[in-house]
Amino acid sequence: MAACVLPNVSVTQFAVMSTPSYCWNPVVHTSPTQYKNKVIVRFASLSNHGYAAHVFIADPAGQRRGFTCLGYFASERAACCYAVSYAKAHIDEGPPRKPPFTSQISQ
């Protein structure tokens, strides 16, 4: 998983910029989640391994931190639910729960 501090960009621009090259069709959920004075925006992208979960967290000052490819899931909904769970754990400074399964990328 990768983390980065992003410039002030739209949710759609973020999804396109941060989606890895082996994923396609980022599905952006534009209804953000408010949690402890932060905004969580999650999205999923489809890859050969399933739906990849991605999230970014914005604080009131507008600083955004993004996390990509948190895990692979069987459905878009499951990927987005995990992304929110991961973001909440990050905000609480606790350990995130592990994805329900991982996919090995074979070469």
- 19-39 pLDDT, tens digit per residue, is 454 445 556 555 788 899 998
User: Is the residue at 70 inside a domain?
Assistant: yes
Q: What is the Cα–Cα distance from 81 to 62, expressed in whole angstroms?
A: 23
pTM as predicted: 0.70
User: Is the residue at 9 inside a domain?
Assistant: yes
User: Is the residue at 29 inside a domain?
Assistant: yes
User: Is the residue at 15 inside a domain?
Assistant: yes
Pairing of strands 38-47, 2-6: unpaired
> What is the extent of the structural domain holding 19?
2-91
Give the pLDDT score at 68: 85
User: Is the residue at 102 inside a domain?
Assistant: no
Angle at 103 between CA 84 and CA 26, to 5 degrees: 50
Give the pLDDT score at 100: 67
Residue with tokens 């980065």: 4
pLDDT level of residue 1 (50, 70, 90 thresholds): very low
User: Is the residue at 96 inside a domain?
Assistant: no
User: Is the residue at 30 inside a domain?
Assistant: yes
Looking at the 3D structure of the chain, how many domains does it have?
Answer: 1
Structure tokens at 36: 């402890």
